[in-house]
Amino acid sequence: MSEDAFQTGVVLGSVHFAQHVFRILPPLLPVLALSLGYPLWQLGALVSLYFAGSGFGQAPMGVLADRYDRRLIVPPSVAAMGVGYLVVAAAPRLTDPAAVVLVVAGEPLTGGVLVMGAGSLVAGLGASAIHPCGYPLVVANAPPEREGRALGRWGSAAKLGDAAAPLAVAGLVLVAAWHEVFLLFGGVGLCYGAALAPALSAGVVETRPGGQRLLDADGQADAAPADRRDYVYPFVALLVFFLARAFSEKGLKAFLPTFLVTAYGYTLAVGGLTLPAESLANVYFTAVFLVAAVTTLVTGWLVDRFDPRAVLVAMFAAATAILVVLATGRLSPLALLAVLAALGAANWGWVPARDAIMSDIAPPAREGRTFGYLHTVSHLFSAVAPVGIGLVAGATSLRESVLVLVAAMVVAVAAVAALFSGRVYRVPEAGGTSDPE
């Protein structure tokens, strides 16, 4: 790997890492529940607002990413993530956290939760540029024969961020209040956004939109695909996958730490230090994404050698079965760790396969929009997952609510399996055309 390629990988990987390490709301939910006393559905709504902001912004960000240089979009977006968390951190000072200011459907909403919700929304909007800009950046800066591995490194950086978030929270809550955690992340976001601007302007990373690169190369923009099996039908199949997958993933990410505390409640005593159930749950959560980070690298290697559709179906079907075991089993601490590790590998390690399929179907001049539209619709749909799972858990139990996520995962597997049909998808040939079947 050349020095420029290494630098490009580090810069792009750090952006994806930052986006995911800023997802600290789910691991902080048990702490917020104890500190603030808000009902689970309101705390779940904070997560929903974050992902709604992230989802709502991705479609317009995708359009911008196809028209303007991405180095003008990514740094301000990262800084906005920091601003959102600074607003959340300031909630106790901006309003009385316990004062009821609004009643919706008989449920009282305090000023504190409304300010925190606004901050969560802003942070989510900031995160919305990363996917529609980042995925095309990775593909544009990778040779075709190594695209899967490049996507694997990009995805692995995200999983390391997912792993670092609960680990950081587990340590920080031992020495800092919840609002101080948000204050720290907010300041880091502002500084990192400022540092990204010169890093992306150094001329090493190709940041121009795909359509502009084509015009510079041959003076022609790409034409719309003539056969719906080249773009429209596989896009719809991927959209169904995104919807079902996003619902299950957002629900699982939002409540997995709380599920581990409620369903198992394990603690850990080492010497004179006792790790409470909330902190141990975040350690488990970290293990999930550390395994996912390693698996994602392996998946990228597999995608460069095998059909990404087969890789995606196999891994997601395995994840569905593992989640059933987690929801219905009574596991010892070690068995729980093993099942969570397997879940991390199967449920979050398949990302390069999905991204390779998206890259195959997206015309260069529409790459930002394709990624943006898929993520926007799925994020908006999945924004109801934390609230919905919270309501189901309140009416039944968290174990039963996890089975709702299993049903969504079954739908996702079926959607990807449809891509094996020649009536739905024409697989591109090595030269860039599609197999006419």
pLDDT digits (tens, 9 = 90+) for 194-210: 998 888 876 777 777 76
pLDDT at 357 exceeding the cut of 80? yes
Would 20 be classed as within a structural domain? yes
Q: What does residue 224 show for φ and ψ, rounded to 5 degrees? A: -65, 145
Q: Hey, which residues does 230 pair with through a beta bridge? A: none
pTM, whole model, 2 decimals? 0.70
pLDDT at 181 exceeding the cut of 90? yes
What number of other Cβ atoms are within 10 A of residue 334's Cβ? 8
Q: Hey, which residues does 435 pair with through a beta bridge? A: none
What number of other Cβ atoms are within 10 A of residue 272's Cβ? 5
Would 189 be classed as within a structural domain? yes
> Six-digit token pair at 211?
């359509």
Would 428 be classed as within a structural domain? no
Q: What percent of the chain has pLDDT over 90?
A: 20
Would 426 be classed as within a structural domain? no
Q: What does residue 193 show for φ and ψ, rounded to 5 degrees? A: -60, -40
pLDDT digits (tens, 9 = 90+) for 396-423: 666 777 777 888 889 999 999 999 988 8
What number of other Cβ atoms are within 10 A of residue 180's Cβ? 13
Average pLDDT, the chain: 82
Q: How far is CA 25 from CA 165, 190, 230, in A?
A: 9, 18, 39
Domain that holds residue 166: 3-420
107-110 and 100-104: which strand pairing? antiparallel
Would 319 be classed as within a structural domain? yes
Would you list the DSSP string of 250-299?
HHHHHHHHHHHHHHT---EEETTEEE-HHHHHHHHHHHHHHHHHHHHHHH
What pLDDT, on the 0 to 100 scale, is given for residue 193? Answer: 92
* Mean pLDDT (whole number) for 363-386: 75
Q: What does residue 409 show for φ and ψ, rounded to 5 degrees? A: -70, -35
Would 284 be classed as within a structural domain? yes
* Terminal-to-terminal C-alpha distance of the chain: 37
What pLDDT, on the 0 to 100 scale, is given for residue 197? Answer: 86
Would 436 be classed as within a structural domain? no
Would 434 be classed as within a structural domain? no
pLDDT digits (tens, 9 = 90+) for 47-98: 888 988 887 888 888 888 888 888 889 999 999 999 999 999 998 888 776 6
Residue in this structure with the two tokens 């180095």, named with its chain if needed: 71
Band (351; pLDDT cuts 50, 70, 90): confident
What pLDDT, on the 0 to 100 scale, is given for residue 186? Answer: 94
Total structural domains in the chain? 1
What pLDDT, on the 0 to 100 scale, is given for residue 437? Answer: 43
Q: What is the CATH number of the domain that holds 307?
A: 1.20.1250.20
